[in-house]
Structure 1
Amino acid sequence: RLDREELCGQSATCMLPFELLLSNPLQFFRVEVALEDINDHSPVFPVERVTFKIVERSDPGTRFPVEAARDLDIGSNMVQAYSISPKNEYFSVFYGTNIENDRSVELVLEKPLDREEHEEMGFSLIAVDGGSPPRSGTTQVNIIVLDVNDNAPVFTQKTYVCQVLENSPQGSAVLRVVAADRDTGSNGDITYAFSQPLSQSDSPFTIDSMSGEIKLTKPLDYEAAQSHELSVRATDGGGLSAICKVLVEVVDVNDNAPEVVVSSFSSPLPENTAPGTVVALFTVRDRDSGANGKISCGLEDQRFFSLRPAYKNYYELVTVSALDREETARYILRVTAADAGSPPLTSTQTFTVDISDVNDNAPVFNQTSYTMYVRENNVPTVFVGAVSAADADVGLNGKVSYSL
């Protein structure tokens, strides 16, 4: 059996020479047999798989050389064309003569790659010869798309809203912001920071640069600020960043007792003061809100004094009955203000009301009649006896003088 590839390899022509000797009559002939090629070999690639690592966003037209398939046949039975299966929009194949006049095979990038869309792709590169029927050979092409920093971080929310009790202790977690980056490696590594740097000594918040968790550096105060707006920036390893807002709503707790602020107070008070006279005017306030800031006032003893609302949060302390200094010279009144929190907080304001004297008591003798004895023939200025009268009033109102 004749094998042209074994006898002549890749030679364009293959001649098999021999000599023919005829014995009768004696003749000598030189014979050459030309072996013609048939398509009995398929194209074969040097490797079964070839891998290319291509940076995403590479320019269209970029070429990637591939080692050509070898076919032991010659002429039209050699490799005539290359194709890609399955066809795709990113690559085509070029087979032609290069500047060195050599036949070369190149993959041509037709469209920029996007790693976030396809991290890898694979297809078959097929070499086909010109025989009849044609033969083909295949190698697998694996494309690994290398990342470039073409994606900025994206937060899961544009605005985060949370509520925090104002008495939450230092170190309490507020919330966690989350951003994702479609890039890989350092291009996808995200760090978090407040967009506007906050002083550690002033700000009640701190953020973990790696996890995005926001915590308290000190308790919040609803009365100082009912809400805090933070701006958080997420930055990837390539310098691209995104910003989100964090709105922290401070929830009021009942941590402020009511305050009683006295505007005016009259003491001492004449004992003949008419009922309904205003003794004190005061206002009550609570820095808390809602039920925690709703205040009610009460007076312990309401026999002679009472409270009545004036306007808004003002109250008046007024007399409700006639006073008598001789019965009670001083009243100690305790006004209690309580809020509606749970548990409620209270505060007490004490009013000491002194009653001033009015001349409403006549002198009273200690006896209704006196019997005295004196000797006759007494000398002038002799002591006969003494009378005594008392007055319940004080001061000049209680000073007694006598006459006959």
Structure 2
Amino acid sequence: LVSCELSGEAPLSIVASSGGSYKVVTSGALDREQASEQRVTVVARDRGRPALWSSRELVLEVSDVNDNAPVFEEAAYSAYVAENNAAGALVLRVQARDADAGANGRVSYWLAGGSAGAAGAAPLVSVEARSGALYAQRSLDYEQCREFTVAVRAQDGGSPARSSTATVRVFVLDRNDNAPRVLWPAAAARAAAGEAAGGAAPPFEVVPRSAEAGYLVAKVVAVDADAGRNAWLSYELVQASEPALFRVGLHSGEVRTARAVAERDAAKQRLVALVKDHGQPALSATATLHVLLADSLREALPELSERPAAAEAAAAELQFYLVLALALLSALLVLSVALAVLARLRRAGPPAVGALRGVPVSHFVGIDGVRAFLHSYSHDVSLTAPFIGTLCPGASFRGEVDVGSIFSLKFGGHGRKREVALGWRFVLCVFIELCFVSSFLLLTSVIPPCILYSQWM
């Protein structure tokens, strides 16, 4: 008879079967992840004396079943990303291991949800299925989302599939990408917000002339959307009408008088304060403060009622157009006078006495023995037809002709002076008339803009 036995530490046993055969069976659970193969030695002995035996080593390979889920290296991850990163930047790489073999141990990664905080439902990161690398989907902004969490699931390829989940917490690091924003003075705050001032006068801080050193004038209020050192603000006075009169607190932003107000100090003071953060590089903003030195409101009102810069610019523009209109009207006036004089000179032809040149003196008719034409006045003369024929050859007349009905003769220097005087009177009348017309046009072009300007003021 032959008996068989096993030697070794494997969870196996050998049992006899019918017909002198034996079976090797498991005596406990096999775990491929602990031992992928089992080695045992089978010893067969007979019952003779001395007993003889032989042995054979058995190698058993344990096949895999999907009995292990993927396991992450860390249950929770933390990642730090500076804001304003480029889209597609690597955030973190997670890794999970599966002790199974083959498809049962092949791990894939998926996003299983999470919280994006203030960023809303838009995905901020993505994960690569094979490598477990998390990439930023877009540029992150610290001021919108300072931190968020995502859940990453690792799943194997077994059937049924097994999976596990890890939490990734992403912290967005701040960068100095926001300049300080001035909240007070109000004019600076409106300018920072992009609102149009519309030419309105800036607000004034009234300081009595009896103020001593340390008098609180105003406080510059500013905020910075960044964090940490990037949001630490400091204040300094960079411009002032009287640099020695005011000072500003380095960290408080309080504007105070550095000395007592003197009589020589101007009533209006303009201060420019610089607000700067401590980031790298540092960003800054300016706040303009208008101070009025006056002991009472009655004293301050005349200073406040002065025209603002926008009104002065409008007045300068109006003055330019008025000067231009006056220049055009003056040019039109000069041109009109020149044309009138030229037309008058062209109408004045040669003197009428030119037709009598060459007539002998003896042909003139005398009155009382004195030649009438020596007088400086004109006379009506009646001439006979033959005499007219000698003056105007080819003309036919019957009877006596009244020369005065044909033309008038003017002799002597006084007549010519009278014609010139009459010409200049005509020009003077034209000039006066054009002056009236130009004045009317000038008034109609100037008065409406002036009325509008006074109403605007």
TM-score range, shorter-chain basis?
A: 0.5 to 0.7
Secondary structure of the residue aligned to 2:32 is coil
Secondary structure of the residue aligned to 1:187 is helix
Deviation at 1:319, TM superposition (A): 8.6
1:186 corresponds to which residue?
103
State TM-score, norm by structure 2: 0.52
Deviation at 1:344, TM superposition (A): 0.9
User: Is 1:232 aligned with 2:152?
Assistant: yes
Maintained 8 Å contact 2:208/2:293: no
CA displacement, residues 372-404 of structure 1 (integer Å, 9 cap, x when unaligned): xxxxxxxxxxxxxxxxxxxxxxxxxxxxxxxxx
Structure 1 CA distance for aligned equivalents of residues 249 and 108 of structure 2: 58
Deviation at 1:197, TM superposition (A): 6.6
CA 1:269–1:107: 2 relative to 1, 3 Å: closer
Maintained 8 Å contact 1:291/1:341: yes
Maintained 8 Å contact 1:308/1:315: yes
2:68 corresponds to which residue?
151
Maintained 8 Å contact 1:274/1:319: no
CA displacement, residues 23-57 of structure 1 (integer Å, 9 cap, x when unaligned): xxxxxxxxxxxxxxxxxxxxxxxxxxxxxxxxxxx
Structure 2 CA distance for aligned equivalents of residues 268 and 118 of structure 1: 88
Gaps of 5+ in 1: 1-75, 360-404
Task: Write out aligned runs for 1:279-298 (5 A).
Answer: 280-298=218-236
Secondary structure of the residue aligned to 1:196 is strand
User: Is 1:247 aligned with 2:169?
Assistant: yes
CA displacement, residues 198-227 of structure 1 (integer Å, 9 cap, x when unaligned): 899712211111111112112222222332
**Large movers: runs of 4+ above 6 Å:** 197-201, 269-272, 354-357
Structure 1 CA distance for aligned equivalents of residues 54 and 204 of structure 2: 119
The RMSD of aligned alpha carbons is: 3.4
The code of the aligned residue for 1:196 comes to G
The code of the aligned residue for 2:73 comes to T
Secondary structure of the residue aligned to 2:145 is coil
Task: Write out aligned runs for 1:307-386 (5 A).
Answer: 307-309=247-249, 315-316=254-255, 322=261, 331-352=269-290, 358=299
Structure 2 CA distance for aligned equivalents of residues 83 and 121 of structure 1: 16
Maintained 8 Å contact 2:269/2:291: yes
Gaps of 5+ in 2: 188-201, 301-457
CA displacement, residues 334-381 of structure 1 (integer Å, 9 cap, x when unaligned): 22111111221111123355778949xxxxxxxxxxxxxxxxxxxxxx
2:306 corresponds to which residue?
none
User: Is 1:258 aligned with 2:197?
Assistant: no
Structure 2 CA distance for aligned equivalents of residues 323 and 203 of structure 1: 64
CA displacement, residues 213-264 of structure 1 (integer Å, 9 cap, x when unaligned): 1121122222223322222221112321222222222222211111111155
Structure 1 CA distance for aligned equivalents of residues 211 and 203 of structure 2: 15
Task: Write out aligned runs for 1:2-401 (5 A).
Answer: 76=1, 80-84=2-6, 86-97=7-18, 102-196=19-113, 202-238=122-158, 239-262=161-184, 267-268=203-204, 273-275=209-211, 280-302=218-240, 303=242, 306-309=246-249, 315-316=254-255, 322=261, 331-352=269-290, 358=299
CA 1:105–1:252: 2 relative to 1, 3 Å: same
Deviation at 1:190, TM superposition (A): 0.9
Deviation at 1:182, TM superposition (A): 0.8
Deviation at 1:139, TM superposition (A): 3.6
| Paired positions, count | 274
Maintained 8 Å contact 1:95/1:106: yes
The code of the aligned residue for 2:166 comes to C
Maintained 8 Å contact 2:69/2:163: yes
Greater CA deviation, 276-285 or 168-177? 276-285
CA 1:268–1:136: 2 relative to 1, 3 Å: closer
Deviation at 1:106, TM superposition (A): 1.4
Deviation at 1:286, TM superposition (A): 1.1
CA 1:261–1:211: 2 relative to 1, 3 Å: same
Secondary structure of the residue aligned to 1:175 is strand
